[in-house]
Amino acid sequence: MSDAIPVNRIKGVGEKTAALFGKINVYTVDDLIRHYPRDYETYDAPVSIRETSPGNVQAVYGQITAIPNVKKVRNLSILNAILKDDNGDSIQLTFFNMPFLKKVLKPGGFYLFRGLVQQRGTHKFMEQPRMFTWDEYIQKSGRLLPRYALTKGLTNQTVQKSVAQALEYYPPEKEYLPQVILQKYPMLSHREAVYALHFPESREEMLTARNRMVFEEFFSFLLVLRKNKELAAKTENHFPMYETADTVRFLEQLPFPLTKAQKKVWGELREDMGSPYAMNRLIQGDVGSGKTILAVLALLMCAANGYQGAMMAPTEVLAVQHFETISGYVKKYGIAFRPVLLTGSMTAKEKREAYAKIASGEANLIIGTHALIQEKVEYSSLALVVTDEQHRFGVRQRETLAAKGSEPHVLVMSATPIPRTLAIILYGDLKVSVIDELPANRLPIKNCVVGTSYRPKAYEFIAKEVAAGRQAYVICPMVEEGESEDMENVVDYTEKLRAVLPPSVQVAYLHGKMRPADKNRIMEEFAAKEIDVLVSTTVIEVGINVPNATVMMVENAERFGLAQLHQLRGRVGRGEFQSYCIFISTSDTKETMERLQILNHSNDGFHIASEDLKLRGPGDIFGIRQSGEFAFVLGDIYTDANILKEASDAVEQLLVSDPELTDDDSLALVNYFKEHTAVNVVDFRTI
């Protein structure tokens, strides 16, 4: 069976299931096989209620003592039941929007429940635990069971069965790494590793398989990076630019001076754009360090020299925000921009009008999403592209623009605080500028790391801030119920907050699965103060600027990397008011608390990244993936720093022995990635 065979050709996958798979971007056999488990579950033996430990997912067996109590709080149904074991100890079980359980849980009946144990004072409880028969549970006990990212209607069991079917057709000879690399770095074959990731016999086998696939992922990414670098080094500057009075005047009019670090980077940008070769530079700076204003200066210099500039954002929400901010500058300072917005959700008529302004040169600044490099867009003189770390400008994108008659300067913005040792490897194709100081007028964010018992106080604090006219974010790891039993989800959490906060507080939610128009509407309402509390996934972490938001509360903080938590924290503290960040952890282990205390004691992203790198080890692989440019499918640049270094050395070795990648050994890798886009970090059709 070919990798490109539609997923509905697999036995047991009908049109309905195929449509559900499509919602998680699984369309072919290859997509399914590369839909790796997000973590693994071990079903440990049930324990007595006395032996349960808050912060852990555990199973308890006992007897329901009385008819469950059901109450309604606005739109939320809350069912409470008490389970007592043979020792006479009891634990409360709470279920949201499941009133039918009142008929299922019979007083005097024996049941087994598994869920996250929590404690308030001496009172232990579980929320939304799963119920099993004794036999069902014992059958799972002691095994390492994969848990997949799901969507509503798609079960873990369905994914497992479908993957098992797909693997039967996976040829044993499949291998993408060149033999010269496999000889130096002994590891499982590609097929062995893929199988062991889905169906490991032991934790050790799973880790060995994972390391093999992480190596493949890093190796592929770094190989393309090196080819990008070679191409960039040969690109002439077709658009030499020189500073004009426009940027000088704009800087004089701004209500704040540039920091020393910003001035240094601005000098580097001016020098690059006037040099014999096209600029290919990255600005690396902490959240709130002032990267955007430098991008605006570079784009203004471009416009003042008679050329067009483009600013490409990762989301429509951010593109609209940039457009409104820069339009405000035009109105306030009279600068020489004629901006136009171009995004995927615009109507056909709006797009046609934008295309016409771009082609004629009437627009000299184009702000948008990836729609900026669509085939229908024709530029009159595109000389500078400002992009962000999620949209690295690869060879294929350069070729797309070159075909439109230009080889522009490229400026990449990154708020990912990466230690220098890793940055040298990961940014190998770019010149790097670092903004290593924050504007002097910023109030440091006040942080606290707490357990789940602190929630009532946190809700009170949020209500108090809202009453004072401020706004708040609440971050949950998951979108909807069923994705994980030990993590909060956005949809249910929104209902919970509406029930506990005063009725006057407007609560809404936002997540990546929503339509772009709905996401834009929610963010516009939040920016306009029509929404007081926004419950969201990490979709809000990149660049969103709402100065009135002063509280960031992160649920299941232990499940995120520190760099990502720091990015999330950067959404507050952007205005004149004191801001606060509350990290709620469901785990109180020494390792977890040690990691989170780094955030508690520092607001310096580079320091946090360095400390995180020291603390995290190869066993710490089940946190939610780092986001941004380095959101690999499996690998994590911090946890897997040693594998990253090995992969970097392997790329160097291959390019010494086969610099043009023309040997048969290399062609297998190149040809595979010309046909696939399975690795989400980079498109191998660029080689």
Show Cβ contacts of residue 36 under 8 Å, excluding neighbours closer than 6 positions.
197, 198, 213, 633, 634
* pLDDT recorded at residue 215: 96
* pLDDT recorded at residue 630: 60
* pLDDT recorded at residue 142: 75
State how far the Cα of 474 lies from the Cα of 584, in Å rounded to an integer: 11
**From 66-80, 410-424, 499-513, the region with the lowest mean pLDDT:** 410-424
Please give the C-alpha separations between residue 266 and each of 251, 255, 263, 284, in angstroms, as whole numbers: 11, 18, 5, 13
Question: CA angle, corner 652, sides to 650 and 657, nearest 5?
Answer: 95
Who has greater pLDDT, 561 or 21?
21
Could you tell me the pLDDT band of residue 668, with boundaries at 50, 70 and 90?
confident
DSSP 471: E
Closest CA to 263 of 275, 271, 255: 271
Q: How large a percentage of the chain has pLDDT more than 90? A: 54
Residue type, 520: N
Question: Mean of the pLDDT values across residues 233-258?
Answer: 92
Please name the residue that has the structure tokens 């540039």: 258
Who has greater pLDDT, 488 or 629?
488
Residues 630-639 pLDDT 10s: 668 888 887 8
Structure tokens at 168: 């039967």
Give the three-class secondary structure for 565. Answer: helix
Please name the residue that has the structure tokens 């204003």: 293
* pLDDT recorded at residue 1: 46
* pLDDT recorded at residue 677: 39
- In b/e form, how buried is each residue of 335-357, taking b as 16+ CB within 10 angstroms? bbbebbbbbebbeeeebeebbeb
* pLDDT recorded at residue 624: 37
Sheet with 549-554, side-by-side order of all strands: 446-450, 580-584, 549-554, 471-475, 533-536, 507-510
Residues 337-378 pLDDT 10s: 999 999 988 999 999 999 999 999 999 999 998 888 887 899
pLDDT over 50 (residue 686) = no
State how far the Cα of 287 lies from the Cα of 290, in Å rounded to an integer: 8
**From 267-271, 334-338, 441-445, the region with the lowest mean pLDDT:** 441-445
Residues 166-196 pLDDT 10s: 998 777 777 889 988 999 998 999 999 999 9
Structure tokens at 143: 């095994």
pLDDT over 60 (residue 629) = no
* pLDDT recorded at residue 678: 36
Instruction: Cite the DSSP H helix spans in 488-572.
Output: 490-500, 516-527, 562-569
Q: Is 642 exposed, middle or buried (0-12, 13-18, 19+ CB in 10 A)?
A: exposed
DSSP 456: H
State how far the Cα of 596 lies from the Cα of 558, in Å rounded to an integer: 7
Structure tokens at 671: 């040809």
Give the three-class secondary structure for 319. Answer: helix
DSSP characters for 216-277? HHHHHHHHHHHHHHHHHHT-B-SS-----HHHHHHHHHSSSPPPHHHHHHHHHHHHHHTSSB
Closest CA to 638 of 617, 615, 613: 613
* pLDDT recorded at residue 542: 61
Question: Mean of the pLDDT values across residues 600-613?
Answer: 82
Residues 122-175 pLDDT 10s: 899 999 999 999 998 988 887 788 999 999 999 999 999 999 999 987 777 778
Please give the C-alpha separations between residue 25 and each of 21, 348, 489, 560, 680, in angstroms, as whole numbers: 7, 26, 20, 23, 11
* pLDDT recorded at residue 139: 84
Closest CA to 45 of 124, 112, 105: 112
pLDDT over 70 (residue 684) = no
pLDDT over 90 (residue 43) = no
Who has greater pLDDT, 602 or 298?
298
| Residues facing 509 on adjacent strands | 535
State how far the Cα of 525 lies from the Cα of 511, in Å rounded to an integer: 15
* pLDDT recorded at residue 100: 94
- Ordered structural domains, the chain, with CATH: 7-39+147-225+650-686 (no CATH), 44-141 (2.40.50.140), 231-435 (3.40.50.300), 446-602 (3.40.50.300)
DSSP 54: T
Could you tell me the pLDDT band of residue 394, with boundaries at 50, 70 and 90?
low
Mean pLDDT of the chain: 86
Are 178 and 670 contacting, i.e. CB atoms less than 8 angstroms apart? Answer: no
Structure tokens at 595: 């990691």
Structure tokens at 326: 């820069």
Show Cβ contacts of residue 537 under 8 Å, excluding neighbours closer than 6 positions.
475, 476, 477, 478, 479, 490, 510, 511, 512
Question: Mean of the pLDDT values across residues 456-483?
Answer: 87
E strands within 587-682?
none
Question: Mean of the pLDDT values across residues 258-287?
Answer: 93
Could you tell me the pLDDT band of residue 533, with boundaries at 50, 70 and 90?
very high
pLDDT over 60 (residue 623) = no
Could you tell me the pLDDT band of residue 618, with boundaries at 50, 70 and 90?
very low
Residue type, 446: K
State how far the Cα of 246 lies from the Cα of 391, in Å rounded to an integer: 29
- Cα(first)–Cα(last) distance of the chain, in Å? 26
Show Cβ contacts of residue 307 under 8 Å, excluding neighbours closer than 6 positions.
239, 241, 364, 381, 382, 383, 384
* pLDDT recorded at residue 144: 84
Please give the C-alpha separations between residue 420 and each of 257, 428, 613, in angstroms, as whole numbers: 28, 12, 11
pLDDT over 50 (residue 582) = yes
